Chain A
Amino acid sequence: MTPLSGLRVADFTVHAAGPFCTHMLSQLGAEVIKVETALRPDIFRKSHAVYGRKGPATFDQVSSNKLSVRLNLKHPDGIALAKRLVAVSDVAAESFRAGVMERLGLSYDDLRAARPDIVMVSVSSSGQTGPESHFAGYAPLFGAWGGLGHLSGHADGPPVEMRHVMDHSVGMNAALATMAALLQRRRTGRGCHVDVAAREVASSLVGDALVAASAGITVERMGNGDLRRAPHGLYPTRDPDRWLAIAVANDAQWCALAMLMDQADLASDPRYATETARHANSATLDPLIANWSRQSTGEQLAASLQSAGIPAHLSWAASDIVSDPHLRARGAILDVTETGGATRAAVGRVARFSGDDTPGITQGTPTLGGAESYVYGELLGLSDTDISALVADRAIY
């Protein structure tokens, strides 16, 4: 049995962060009912020209497994139906700007009236409270607000904008918080309103730097550098744009690397013999590594470095990831067959469970409103006539 079998989520989330939260829950077996409307389709279901193309963005990935229903939240009967859906759900998730659910008549108090122990999960850019809670934001802005963007980048360059990994790490945090809230509900019988702030996720990812800064220590961008480890960087290989990440964490690993480079004298060279010396002399050390690494392929180097006990990995593109036997063996990458018959690689579960090895994704992208007969008919008990009337009145639209 899947870990979250029996849990039901009413999913009002849009864009990337919120849907990724419910996607994580669905991969572990929760039944997720995605509420959509043709009036204003999820921006990630629509084309996304800012990336210079016409197709959708991550919608296929994060909506796989989910059941889609149309529901017009601008219609009073749509709101009534939303509450009925919440009444049969364990979790209600949303990711509108703070205040929107309240204006719709779907505040935590409203949902609690429909189901007293509901766990409501709100994912927003800056949280549900505070002077900037109304700010609009996307992943790069979360990173900017939270300090993660400022601290990422070359020491002599500008900050770096965070992209979808930022959204998705917000979603992962939200999924974690949802499980904690559910465990609390199981223990106490009490639901709660989980408030996830994306900018706080960004700052939490550099929480140690913020601890240091609060003690007066200067923290700044440092490229690929590390405060202790050396050599530590991206090194060229024989093939163009094929970079090898090497992170030597101690003297033993350094000695092993010197042997592998067939330059055993480097291990005892006073400029590099200790971690402190290597760190101080990385400007002369890095070219030595690069001259060696560019003689071979990255695959050969990574394998031989790992065999010698040295942390190393190629800088992998998506093409490497989708074909990796290791990730496929783990189910972290799997193939999904879409409704139209096309097969694509997708991301699977983030962990393996001894009690359940069900693939994380068993169904592809849902069609808009594809699960209405199940949700409105079977779950909520509406007759075909009722449903037709709501469709005609554009409450289901």
Chain B
Amino acid sequence: MTAPKPLAGIRVVERATGVAAAQAGRLMCLMGAEVIMAEPPGGSPLRQEPPLLPGSDSALFTFLATGKRSVTCDLDQPDDRAAFDTLLASADLLIDDTALADRARAGLDQARISQRHPHIVHLSVLPFGAYGPKADWLGEELTLVHAGGEGFLLPNGLSADLFPDRPPLKIAGHFAQMQGGVAAAFTGLSALWAGGGQYVDASVQDANVAVGAFAIQRFGDGSVEHRLTRSFRFGGVIECSDGYVELLTLEERQWQGLVKLLEADDWAADPDLADAVGRSARGDEINRRIRDWASHRKVADLVAAAQELGVPMARYNDAAQVLSGAQETARGIFHEVAASGGTVKVQSLPFRFDPDALPVDCPAPAPGADQSLLEEPAQRRASA
């Protein structure tokens, strides 16, 4: 028998047009909450985001919505609004990313929700939050990764060496909005823990500023980080004959391992390289030799030898290599889920509460697949 999941018994209603709010719902859903997407007629716009799978389902939506339920409702219509309120009466938490300017018209403003549903944790998820002079600013992935500070600092390392004159670079995919979703879920559950209803105002920008805390601290130390100067003095992205590896030695024993790996007896004997500061000063020279040495070698050979010597090194895995990785397979993190055009692999959450990964076993629902939920009589759920 499958063990109950951590958030069993918690009901969440999700109004999401963006990745961050949908990610917050996804995290709660896979941890066992019942997450009901309340979609507008025609469905969430996330259903249309490319890339589209064979059969036209969105890969992004599939990832974000597996296991969730769906009802559709038009909050401009009184009957739908009433049914939605009945649904909220049964919920513990509302996730909403409706733009501030549109909330009152939809009956989703803070004052109305807290008055009508005082028991609920109302989790607002907006690009710049619901409070402050930029609360009504629009955000997309690209603009948000730059509003949070990390965009300015990328690329670094080899890519910055090769293209110093190009503009800054985003992180792949929906990194910034995913951060917003995780932070929103964390603060939403914290509010549930505190007990009683309240309004939680989560911001994608805040989440990205938080995970970029290093640059803020460095600024406090008196320096502004820049993508062209923050590279590791040696190591980083290293090109091999058949791909790339990442190399990073922070501790003395790891440097000793690196010396052994390169059979660099001259480095071992060089008093200028006896401490980390001396090595940093000659980082360019060290890195030239590492890059030249690695360029003749295969990734798999290098990584195996490095890890054997305690030198932190990893292959830059492409998507197929992640999907079929020995570690990923052993831990069972990818689960087959039905989608249009056949089954796809969807990752479970990156944390687990038992030896096994949390299951991902239901497809993303069609719009309104669970419409009967809107017809249930109002009944408070057992709250967390």
CB closest chain-A residue, reference B218: A318
User: In the complex, which residues 198-250 of chain B have their Cβ closer than 8 Å to any Cβ of chain A?
Assistant: 198-203, 205-221, 224-226, 230, 232-233, 236-237, 239, 244-246, 248-250
For residue B251, which residues in chain A have a CB less than 8 angstroms away from its CB? 43
Q: Does A268 contact B (CB under 8 A)?
A: no
Q: Known contacts A4-B190, A350-B183, A353-B191: does B217 contact A58 (CB below 8 Å)? A: yes
Q: Does B268 contact A (CB under 8 A)?
A: no
User: In whole Å, how far is A42's beta carbon from the nearest beta carbon of chain B?
Assistant: 12
A353 to B134, CA, bound (A): 18
B306-322 vs A, CB cutoff 8 Å, 1 = contact: the mask equals 01001111111111111
Question: Which residue from A158, A165, A193, A319 sits with its C-beta under 8 Å from B162?
Answer: A158
Categorize the interface residue count of chain A: 35 or more
Question: Which residue from A20, A51, A318 sits with its C-beta under 8 Å from B149?
Answer: A318
Contact assessment for B211 and A199 in the assembled complex, using a CB-CB cutoff below 8 Å: no
User: In whole Å, how far is A62's beta carbon from the nearest beta carbon of chain B?
Assistant: 7
User: In the complex, which residues 227-283 of chain B have their Cβ closer than 8 Å to any Cβ of chain A?
Assistant: 230, 232-233, 236-237, 239, 244-246, 248-251, 254, 275-277, 279-280, 283
User: In whole Å, how far is A310's beta carbon from the nearest beta carbon of chain B?
Assistant: 7
User: In whole Å, how far is B125's beta carbon from the nearest beta carbon of chain A?
Assistant: 9
Contact assessment for A137 and B193 in the assembled complex, using a CB-CB cutoff below 8 Å: no
Q: Does B78 contact A (CB under 8 A)?
A: no
Question: Which residue from A144, A153, A205 sits with its C-beta under 8 Å from B175?
Answer: A205
Contact assessment for B156 and A161 in the assembled complex, using a CB-CB cutoff below 8 Å: yes
Contact assessment for A203 and B277 in the assembled complex, using a CB-CB cutoff below 8 Å: no
Question: Which residue from B53, B171, B202, B353 sits with its C-beta under 8 Å from A148?
Answer: B171
Contact assessment for B133 and A326 in the assembled complex, using a CB-CB cutoff below 8 Å: yes
A48 to B250, CA, bound (A): 8
* Residue from B153, B158, B220 having most chain A Cβ neighbours under 10 A: B220
Q: Does B75 contact A (CB under 8 A)?
A: no
A55 to B219, CA, bound (A): 13
For residue B199, which residues in chain A have a CB less than 8 angstroms away from its CB? 353-354
Q: How many B residues have CB within 8 A of the partner chain?
A: 161
Contact assessment for B206 and A345 in the assembled complex, using a CB-CB cutoff below 8 Å: no
Q: Does B294 contact A (CB under 8 A)?
A: no
Q: Does A325 contact B (CB under 8 A)?
A: yes
For residue B315, which residues in chain A have a CB less than 8 angstroms away from its CB? 144-145
Q: Known contacts A206-B173, A215-B342, A346-B220: does B166 contact A154 (CB below 8 Å)? A: yes
User: In the complex, which residues 158-197 of chain A have their Cβ closer than 8 Å to any Cβ of chain B?
Assistant: 158-165, 168-170, 172-177, 179-184, 186-188, 192-197
Contact assessment for B322 and A329 in the assembled complex, using a CB-CB cutoff below 8 Å: no
CB closest chain-B residue, reference A185: B6
Q: Does A135 contact B (CB under 8 A)?
A: yes
For residue A224, which residues in chain B have a CB less than 8 angstroms away from its CB? 142, 167, 169-170
A280-314 vs B, CB cutoff 8 Å, 1 = contact: the mask equals 00000000000000000000000000100111111
Q: Does A227 contact B (CB under 8 A)?
A: yes
Q: Does B339 contact A (CB under 8 A)?
A: yes
For residue A49, which residues in chain B have a CB less than 8 angstroms away from its CB? 275-277, 279-280
Contact assessment for A145 and B317 in the assembled complex, using a CB-CB cutoff below 8 Å: yes
For residue B290, which residues in chain A have a CB less than 8 angstroms away from its CB? none
Question: Which residue from B137, B168, B201, B321 sits with its C-beta under 8 Å from A243?
Answer: B168
Contact assessment for A234 and B49 in the assembled complex, using a CB-CB cutoff below 8 Å: no
Q: Does B352 contact A (CB under 8 A)?
A: yes
User: In whole Å, how far is B357's beta carbon from the nearest beta carbon of chain A?
Assistant: 9
Contact assessment for A229 and B345 in the assembled complex, using a CB-CB cutoff below 8 Å: no
Question: Which residue from A50, A148, A227, A347 sits with its C-beta under 8 Å from B276?
Answer: A50
Contact assessment for B209 and A176 in the assembled complex, using a CB-CB cutoff below 8 Å: no
User: In whole Å, how far is A356's beta carbon from the nearest beta carbon of chain B?
Assistant: 8
Q: Does B98 contact A (CB under 8 A)?
A: no
| Listed stretches A65-73, A74-82, A244-252; interface member | A244-252
CB closest chain-B residue, reference A347: B213
A50 to B252, CA, bound (A): 11
Contact assessment for A211 and B345 in the assembled complex, using a CB-CB cutoff below 8 Å: yes
Contact assessment for A245 and B344 in the assembled complex, using a CB-CB cutoff below 8 Å: no
Contact assessment for B187 and A351 in the assembled complex, using a CB-CB cutoff below 8 Å: yes
Contact assessment for A206 and B172 in the assembled complex, using a CB-CB cutoff below 8 Å: yes
Contact assessment for A311 and B143 in the assembled complex, using a CB-CB cutoff below 8 Å: yes
Q: Does B377 contact A (CB under 8 A)?
A: no
A170 to B325, CA, bound (A): 20
Q: Does B44 contact A (CB under 8 A)?
A: no
Contact assessment for B342 and A311 in the assembled complex, using a CB-CB cutoff below 8 Å: no
For residue A351, which residues in chain B have a CB less than 8 angstroms away from its CB? 129, 183-184, 187, 200-203, 206
User: In whole Å, how far is B62's beta carbon from the nearest beta carbon of chain A?
Assistant: 5
Q: Does B302 contact A (CB under 8 A)?
A: no
Contact assessment for A213 and B320 in the assembled complex, using a CB-CB cutoff below 8 Å: yes
Contact assessment for B347 and A179 in the assembled complex, using a CB-CB cutoff below 8 Å: no
For residue B203, which residues in chain A have a CB less than 8 angstroms away from its CB? 330, 332, 350-351
Contact assessment for B350 and A173 in the assembled complex, using a CB-CB cutoff below 8 Å: yes
A1-21 vs B, CB cutoff 8 Å, 1 = contact: the mask equals 101110000000000100010
A196-240 vs B, CB cutoff 8 Å, 1 = contact: the mask equals 111111011111111111111101011110111100111110000
Contact assessment for A179 and B189 in the assembled complex, using a CB-CB cutoff below 8 Å: yes
For residue B159, which residues in chain A have a CB less than 8 angstroms away from its CB? 153-154, 157-160
Q: Known contacts A247-B143, A321-B216, A330-B203: does B151 contact A159 (CB below 8 Å)? A: no
Q: Does A366 contact B (CB under 8 A)?
A: no
Other A-B pairs, 6, CB within 8 Å; known A161-B237, A179-B193, A211-B63? A60-B217, A144-B315, A173-B182, A177-B349, A326-B132, A330-B201
22 A-B contacts (beta carbon < 8 Å): A52-B233, A130-B330, A161-B156, A162-B171, A163-B230, A169-B182, A175-B186, A180-B353, A184-B8, A205-B171, A205-B173, A208-B174, A213-B320, A214-B345, A247-B142, A311-B140, A311-B143, A315-B146, A316-B148, A319-B219, A347-B213, A351-B202
Q: Shortest 3 CB-CB distances between A and B: which pairs?
A: A344-B220, A200-B350, A49-B276
